[in-house]
Structure 1
């Protein structure tokens, strides 16, 4: 190791979406010779190891997750518990603080990247270690919600639903982001709910942004420049724009049964729908979505968790649905190889919940993009993609409650799949331009290298 290389610790939230995003970034740093110590729950390490492209430079350091009353014995990550137990996982993560402090004293890294552990800056600062709050969602989300929320925190106030429906007065003027009432209601609940012992989710994030030495965002100026400037100016901290940290192409093959089914479909004809590993839909909306796909007359591959109140997707299917779509439609309730399927030439459009990782996967592949946000930052990301950038189509839904019909689903699919649709033409053209931009050889390298230079300057101070 020469003097120009850094030793970076990463401590992401105990959810695989966060851990995988941090590991993806770690691979980018390791590619340039930097050393990474990656804190991870003990059992989670085995699932992360296959994605470690540089085991000589990225070292996993297992962290014992303390048991918290109310959690199943052995629970370590959000994947081990239902959504309503996430706060207890956060409590357990907060209680790792003594062990983390001991480890940092021994490791003596240059920087620590974190996201939800708001207390880390108070640990790193006395040790002379710089801290970076790395946000894996869009910068626009931080700008829209956390900047105005931070100004209210010291006054003990919360943003009202009315205030959340509209951006703050000094928000970037050309933004398309605005929330519907049910989205504002949902975001208010998410933002102000307790997340850990005696701390709300919004306090946790605002304290992290306020106390860190710098911010890191999965973005670049060309996509979210005004939002990046808005956040940086508000908090007065160095901002690291690390690019979208595109996923490394998978080295394994697509499972044979799925490859065989997709290979028999025409190029660009298949609808692929997936909402991630944590999203659980209501049964009636789940059924309406499937009926919408049926209505298109196109082949479709759906990978969704069993909806609320059911144990399997089969028991949740609309009456007669399975027989009507036999051979044309697949509904799978377990994990599938999303990256592989997204890249298959038969897939013509991807229907997702607006999670940034899935959106990014779609943008660097060929499917057209249809979005239907389910919660949290997804309400912001969908407006960024469909409004600001015009690279996606949002499924139309009722403003008061977010309900969408099978006809809404079918219309959205037709918009992007019909070559003669004018809106579809614009979206397809914009998406192609963005794909070419994102896959430019120098884009990600420039973002990472510029950020590393800023990090080195921080360490020297």
Structure 2
């Protein structure tokens, strides 16, 4: 895979937004670039570094040229407790704002670190769109800054049109459906179910900085692949007027068991036990239920999910996160649900090796929050999906999955369930809706079979993209692009 044996080694500086859903694909990107021969500095903080310790150890064991750089985050100066360094550790919007302020204070330490790398001068910064301060760092060092956009091209194009055309400026009803102007085909969206891009009160300056740096970026990197959404890729690239490098599915560069088990927090369940249970189930029979790292599920919704899964009589593997209220979880399980479904259900409390689970032959469906990492993992493993969007761009991803790719069934969520929403504001999906949707996805009728066939076709396209196809070519072209960019003499 390494095509730089006889060429200069570019040095990529990766700066993720420090939430697991943003960090994981950039870890995969670090491995992808390193396996192609590039040098990588992965910028993190001490608390976040401890959460990816197994990933760091594995990179060292493989002798990959990845340096994980933990820069101290000045939490106390912005009014946060020491060690509060990841977005999933906070619930209040004001705390999120303080975290973004703390991240921007990494500017000087990062510049100092990079200037000290005399033997490995940085060639390029790839940073999350939510780390806009890195644009100033790149200009100070005289190197390109590429923006990592964790959305797919479909959602990115929607988001761009929404913001630049001010689609919702004069719309009073947040639930009113608006036809998106300039989209390649008719698409109706509502303000309530569209990505907000930090448009809450107090985030105005931060939001404007994101949009400004998006305009100034030298290019965009995404964790998608061209063959999945060629129309939207082309239109998005035209819209922003700069190159879009789609490098995904990046997790496919780490497909052995140890890599899959390392792509997140410390496992709360033995991966071998999980595999043994999956091995005992019939091929294509199990529904995997997981809503990602950032969602919060209230007790009333947990109860409805449990009873809907029970009524469906389908085998399931359900991940209930450890940071949902433990008392809620234990109350639910104490009522006999786990015992009644023991012969066909497995409950995982906490983190689970998702990529490993989705690749298992016993998987037949995936109930997902439609976060892009989960979505592309499901697509790349040929697994049809039940869509249960919660927030951000997830309602747009649902449209892609259900209406465009036609590999999913919507459970029927109508309103956002952000992690900051109060319990009384949550619109609970009822057990009968869940049971009905599970049976529809996992059934044997013609519609279900056609979904499975389409899902398997996309799996083949995903693998081809990485194995010599568009994404492989884009990695090569990205490295070649960076190698042609010289540091400006006035800032050396």
Give your verdict on TM over 0.5.
yes
Structure 1 counterpart of 2:13: 9
Q: Judge conservation of contact 2:389–2:413 (CA < 8 Å) in 1.
A: no
Distance 2:213 2:171 in 1: 19
- After superposition, where does 1:227-242 map in structure 2 within 5 Å? 227-242=232-247
Gaps of 5+ in 1: none
Q: For 1:59, which of 55, 60, 67 is the aligned residue?
A: 67
Q: CA deviation at 1:413?
A: 1.9
Q: Judge conservation of contact 2:359–2:381 (CA < 8 Å) in 1.
A: yes
Structure 1 counterpart of 2:188: 178
RMSD: 3.1
Q: Judge conservation of contact 1:285–1:404 (CA < 8 Å) in 2.
A: yes
Matched, 1:356 2:372: yes
- The alignment partner of 1:246 has SS state of helix
Q: Judge conservation of contact 2:132–2:210 (CA < 8 Å) in 1.
A: yes
Q: CA deviation at 1:166?
A: 3.0
Structure 2 counterpart of 1:296: 312
The 1:8/1:306 distance shift into structure 2, 3 A limit, reads closer
CA offset digits 1:383-411 (Å, max 9, x no partner): 11111111222213457986432222222
Q: For 1:433, which of 457, 467, 473 is the aligned residue?
A: 457
The 1:159/1:428 distance shift into structure 2, 3 A limit, reads same
The 1:318/1:194 distance shift into structure 2, 3 A limit, reads farther
Structure 2 counterpart of 1:278: 294
Distance 1:447 1:210 in 2: 21
The 1:393/1:145 distance shift into structure 2, 3 A limit, reads same
The 1:272/1:338 distance shift into structure 2, 3 A limit, reads same
- After superposition, where does 1:287-436 map in structure 2 within 5 Å? 287-305=303-321, 311-317=327-333, 319-398=335-414, 403-419=428-444, 421-436=445-460
Distance 1:30 1:240 in 2: 17
Distance 1:398 1:236 in 2: 34
Q: CA deviation at 1:210?
A: 1.1
Structure 2 counterpart of 1:45: 49
Q: CA deviation at 1:255?
A: 2.8
Q: With structure 2 as the length reference, what TM-score do the two structures score?
A: 0.82
Q: CA deviation at 1:216?
A: 1.3
Q: For 2:221, which of 216, 220, 223 is the aligned residue?
A: 216
Structure 2 counterpart of 1:192: 199
Structure 2 counterpart of 1:91: 101
Distance 1:445 1:327 in 2: 43
Q: CA deviation at 1:63?
A: 0.8
Distance 2:136 2:99 in 1: 21
The 1:318/1:57 distance shift into structure 2, 3 A limit, reads same
The 1:316/1:415 distance shift into structure 2, 3 A limit, reads same
Instruction: Indicate the structure whose relative CO is greater, using CA pairs within 8 Å and at least 6 residues apart.
Output: 2
Matched, 1:442 2:468: yes
The 1:122/1:430 distance shift into structure 2, 3 A limit, reads same
Q: Which moved more, 1:127-136 or 1:405-414?
A: 405-414
- The alignment partner of 1:192 has SS state of coil
Q: Judge conservation of contact 2:17–2:131 (CA < 8 Å) in 1.
A: yes
Matched, 1:76 2:79: no
